[in-house]
Structure 1
Amino acid sequence: MDFSVTTTWDGESVTHPPVRIKLSAHEDGCLMTVHAPFFNDPPAPPGERGAPAPGLWDYEVVEAFFLNDHDEYLEVELCPHGQHLLLLLKGRRNIVQEQLPLQFTANIDGDTWTGETTLPRSYFPSCVTRFNAYAIHGSGDKRVYEALYPATKGQFTDPDFHRLEFFQNIDMSSVLKSNTKGYTSDIWSKHTETGS
Structure 2
Amino acid sequence: MDFKIEHTWDGFPVQHEPVLVRLSPGDSGVMMEVSAPFFNDPPDPLGEPGKPFNELWDYEVVEAFFLNDRTEQYLEVELCPHGQHLVLLLSGRRNVWKQGLALSFKVSRGETKWEGKTYLPWCYFPPNVTKFNSFAIHGSNDKRHYEALYPVPQHELQQGQKPDFHRLEYFKPFSFNTLFGEEWKQPKSDLW
Normalised by the length of structure 2, the TM-score is 0.93
- Backbone CA RMSD of aligned residues: 1.6
CA offsets 1:89-125 (integer angstroms, 9 cap, x no match):
0000000100001100111112000000010110000
**1:84 is matched with which residue?**
85
Find the aligned partners of 1:6 and 1:145 in 2 and give their Cα distance: 11
CA offsets 1:11-30 (integer angstroms, 9 cap, x no match):
00000000000000000200
Find the aligned partners of 2:28 and 2:175 in 1 and give their Cα distance: 18
Matched to 2:101, the amino acid is L
Matched to 1:9, the amino acid is W
**1:98 is matched with which residue?**
99
Shift of 1:153: 1.1
Asked if structure 1 preserves the Cα contact closer than 8 Å seen for 2:89 and 2:98, the reply is yes
What's the secondary structure of 1:81's corresponding residue? Answer: coil
**2:143 is matched with which residue?**
142
Shift of 1:176: 5.8
What's the secondary structure of 2:151's corresponding residue? Answer: coil
**2:108 is matched with which residue?**
107
Asked if structure 2 preserves the Cα contact closer than 8 Å seen for 1:5 and 1:148, the reply is yes
Asked if structure 2 preserves the Cα contact closer than 8 Å seen for 1:28 and 1:118, the reply is no
**1:132 is matched with which residue?**
133
Find the aligned partners of 2:154 and 2:39 in 1 and give their Cα distance: 26
Asked if structure 2 preserves the Cα contact closer than 8 Å seen for 1:7 and 1:13, the reply is yes
**2:71 is matched with which residue?**
70
Shift of 1:179: 7.2
| Structure 1 gap segments, 5+ residues each | 189-196
Give runs of ≥4 in structure 1 deviating > 3 Å: 174-181
Matched to 2:177, the amino acid is S
Find the aligned partners of 1:103 and 1:150 in 2 and give their Cα distance: 29
**1:173 is matched with which residue?**
177
User: What is the percentage of aligned positions where both structures have the same residue?
Assistant: 55
**1:117 is matched with which residue?**
118
Matched to 2:123, the amino acid is S
CA offsets 1:65-104 (integer angstroms, 9 cap, x no match):
0001211000000000000000000000000100001100
Q: Label 1:145 to 1:65 Cα distance change in 2 as closer, same or farther (>3 A).
A: same
For this pair of structures, how many residues does the alignment match? 187
Whether 1:37 aligns to 2:37 is yes
Find the aligned partners of 1:127 and 1:66 in 2 and give their Cα distance: 10
Select between 7-16 and 101-110 the one with higher mean Cα deviation: 101-110
What's the secondary structure of 2:130's corresponding residue? Answer: strand
Find the aligned partners of 2:71 and 2:188 in 1 and give their Cα distance: 13
Find the aligned partners of 2:191 and 2:112 in 1 and give their Cα distance: 38
Shift of 1:172: 1.1
